Amino acid sequence: MAIRHLLLLPLLFISMSPAQPVAQPMAELQAHPFFRTEQYPRWSQMTPQRALRDVHAALAEAARKQAAIAELQPHEMTFENTFLACYESDENLRQVQSFLYHISNIASHPTWQRVMNAMGNAIAEHEKSRPNPAQIWAVLQQAAAAPFMQEQSPARQRFARRILDDMQLSGITLSSEQRARLVEIEQELKQLGYVFNSYAAQGASRWQLLITNQSELHGMPAQWMQQASAAAIAQGSASAENPAWLVTEQSAHQVLSLCTVEETRRKCWIGVHSAGTMHAMADNEPIIARIMELRQEKANLLGFRNYADLQTRTRMMGNAEAALAFVNDMLAHSKPAWDAYVAEKLERHSRLYGRPLQQINPWDEAYYDNMLPGRAPAFHAAALTPYLQADRVLDGLMNLWAGMLGIRFQELPTACVARGAAYPERHVEVWHPQVRAFAVYDAESGGHLGSFYLDLYPRRNKRSQAWCMPLRFGNPAPGGGVGTPHLACLCANLTPPPRQEGHPHLFTHNDLYTLFHEFGHLMHIMLAHGELRAHHAMSVERDFVEFPSHLMETWIWSPEVLRTFACHFETGDPMPAHLADMLAAGLNHLPIQQHIYMLCSAKLDLEMNMYYDEKFKGRPLDEVSAEILAPWSMPYTQQPPSVMRTMTHCISDGYAANLYTYKWCEVMAADAFERFRREGLLNPAIGAEYRRTILNRGSSVPAAELIRDFLGREPTPEALMRRYQPHTSPTP
């Protein structure tokens, strides 16, 4: 299909109606609740049956619109009825995809998964049967060379080039047989991805160890033993007369830290690392091999040497070699700090073991670290919790960015209603009573920039972790600027409110990190109002998407910032000086092991997608992974299985050959934060410049130009590397 790649681009959505919550005729909602209707969707109207009906209606609509483009004659062509029409032809399909993806995240159920699968199959069949991809390509090629294109703004010309690039990467120039094969590859990759995810979830999550001899759990606290005994009884594996203790993946981590019996620790370590392995009877290695084979075939079909080159073609890096060179350079810069960390750990374990060690048992690591920490931690996260009252944190977060970015937040009245029931007028419908809704306005003009939902607490069938995603993108105003507002959601699984009244609702420092990180994405989504709707925040280069979130999360280490909202929940006293000092030190003493883990994962991700045939094919995955990462591996007596066995990001979720983007965005964010720190972390002048040069522009200019405009130069890694300084160990 000519615009197949456009259908699959992540989160390219559509315009909304006026800013205020207004009623929509029920007949229209019932007709197509997944299409673009009112600004605030009626979630209760979105049923699986209507979803499938709307998918097919959207596909038929796209076919009609694309057929009209294919029939255009040269004298009829304009920018609006060619490139812009091509982008807008499948806007309702993108909207259905957006809502379905959101629903699958906040209310996971097998029924919705079947709907998602059916939608994917319908799109694949639609693509295979499309008769006019070559005609659309010919029309756009003619339009690109037409005189009217020279009259378009640079942002519009950039948009047209991206349309052509995306279409070419989707296989538009291939023969009909090659395009059919490309669709087959995509379908098989999708099915393999489901299998991979299933296998990755098995093993560790289902692993259990039943212990009948209490002495094998020597050192475990009484409360843990009671819970393990109750779990064994509940499973039917024990009774009061025949006691036993059940260890699960969740409880095994305490065993690794506290149990004095090495063999028990060894069994637990193997168990928690069993996901995606033969040990769990769910071996992902052959699945990965087939995925890599198909990716290579796809890349070759499209004219690329390997899949990593295909993936990085439209990124800031430009090609796989540049991405791998960046990762290798970061690993080289990090080696001194990593070697110091490894030497310190070996020395500590040698003292406890009673003899010099060149290697350590991986199942002993947490146990010995717990017995004798090598240094006093620079940062005690728990000490901050009494100062992080949930409501104050949320208010403080919004007040901070309202002042910095020149915006205003307004909470909207919400209602959660049953399917088919009426809801109060001028209320925003939400999918759960805990969900809140907010509108964002420009402080100076009063223009409605966007609205968002906050869904912050865990519940059954809700996806784990945290994410921020656009639900719909607004139209720009004629001539550019703010037109109709965007719509987004910020979802997380933060510390929930206490069940007992009178108990304070406190966040952890990790909750704070999650909020600031996801709020970085949210502000990008809300404030990006480019010349075209397609210039939205999430259409920037993939290796720039995480930059605003990595930048904003850095504020949680600033005493100056936290003092604006961090007060003790009982006394109201501000955060004391010793905690402020601890925070300030924490940013420059981040855990080097997490940094190295991400870089090593990124290196392995790139190497697999660049050199699978040369380095991996026909050899054990764990063995090759260990060889490649040997200089940055802890000297264990037994290396864990390859991280790729469970790395859904890289194997099944669209981040293949792109894991490096997290570190690349960290480099840019750390460099940008240094400018904020020099000119004032609460300085609205630099906040306004950040909004103007980066957030507002979306993808209307290349990401490299955005960061250069803000920094005044190319980004460098020095600021990030200062955060991973080697620690000094106290004298024992």
- Mean pLDDT of all residues in 529-535: 91
The answer to whether 689 and 326 have CB atoms below 8 angstroms apart is no
Task: List CB contacts of 200: < 8 A, sequence separation 6 or more.
Answer: 275, 276, 284, 645, 646, 648
Q: Which amino acid is at 85?
A: A
Largest Cα separation within the chain, whole Å, is: 90
More confident residue, 492 or 591: 492
The count of other CB atoms within 10 Å of the CB of residue 194 is 12
From first CA to last CA, the distance across the chain in angstroms is: 68
Q: Shortest CA distance to 643 belongs to which of 206, 365, 277, 282?
A: 277
Q: Is 670 exposed, middle or buried (0-12, 13-18, 19+ CB in 10 A)?
A: buried
Please state, in angstroms and rounded to a whole number, the distance separating the CA atoms of residues 120 and 187: 9
Query: Which three-class secondary structure state does DSSP give residue 281?
Result: coil
**Does residue 712 have a pLDDT over 90?**
yes
Q: Which two tokens stand for residue 251?
A: 């409880």
609-635 residue pLDDT tens: 999 999 999 999 999 999 999 999 999
- Mean pLDDT of all residues in 138-156: 96
**Does residue 374 have a pLDDT over 60?**
no
Q: Which two tokens stand for residue 422?
A: 């009426």
Q: Is 620 exposed, middle or buried (0-12, 13-18, 19+ CB in 10 A)?
A: exposed
pLDDT band at 76, cuts 50/70/90? very high
Task: List CB contacts of 33: < 8 A, sequence separation 6 or more.
Answer: 41, 42, 45, 46, 47, 50, 54
- Mean pLDDT of all residues in 147-167: 95
**Does residue 415 have a pLDDT over 80?**
yes
Can you name the CATH fold of 4-174?
Glutathione S-transferase Yfyf (Class Pi); Chain A, domain 2 (1.20.1050)
Place of tokens 């699958």: 104
Which of 283-292, 359-368, 582-591, 632-641 has the lowest average pLDDT? 582-591
Exposure letters 498-535 (e unless 16+ CB within 10 A, then b): eeeeeeebbbebebbbbbbbbbbbbbbbbbbbbbbbbb
pLDDT band at 10, cuts 50/70/90? very low
Query: 138-146 long-range CB contacts below 8 Å, 24 or more apart?
Result: 139/69, 139/70, 139/72, 139/77, 139/82, 140/82, 140/83, 140/86, 140/164, 140/167, 142/74, 142/77, 143/77, 143/79, 143/82, 143/83, 146/74, 146/77
C-alpha neighbours within 13 Å on the C-beta side of residue 404: 23
Would the CATH topology of 4-174 be identical to that of 324-374+591-721? no
Can you name the CATH fold of 383-587?
Neurolysin; domain 3 (1.10.1370)
216-266 residue pLDDT tens: 999 999 999 999 999 999 999 999 899 999 999 889 989 999 999 999 999
Q: What is the DSSP string of 140-166?
A: HHHHHHSHHHHTS-HHHHHHHHHHHHH
Q: Which amino acid is at 227?
A: Q
Q: Return the percentage of the chain with pLDDT > 90, whole number.
A: 66
Q: Which two tokens stand for residue 33?
A: 């609740």
Please state, in angstroms and rounded to a whole number, the distance separating the CA atoms of residues 51 and 55: 6
**Does residue 542 have a pLDDT over 80?**
yes
Which of 26-35, 66-75, 541-550, 668-677 has the lowest average pLDDT? 26-35
pLDDT band at 179, cuts 50/70/90? confident
Spell out the domain ranges in the chain: 4-174, 208-272, 324-374+591-721, 383-587
Task: List CB contacts of 143: < 8 A, sequence separation 6 or more.
Answer: 77, 79, 82, 83, 149, 160
**pLDDT at res. 8:** 30
420 backbone dihedrals φ, ψ, rounded to 5°? 85, -10
Please state, in angstroms and rounded to a whole number, the distance separating the CA atoms of residues 63 and 491: 34
**pLDDT at res. 400:** 96
CATH of domain 324-374+591-721: 1.10.1370.10
pLDDT band at 12, cuts 50/70/90? very low
Average pLDDT, the chain: 88
- Mean pLDDT of all residues in 555-581: 91
Task: List CB contacts of 275: < 8 A, sequence separation 6 or more.
Answer: 199, 200, 201, 202, 203, 204, 205, 282, 645, 646
**Does residue 7 have a pLDDT over 80?**
no
Specify which residues 441 forms β-bridges with.
408, 448
Please state, in angstroms and rounded to a whole number, the distance separating the CA atoms of residues 270 and 208: 11
The answer to whether 474 and 485 have CB atoms below 8 angstroms apart is yes
**Does residue 351 have a pLDDT over 50?**
yes
**pLDDT at res. 130:** 67
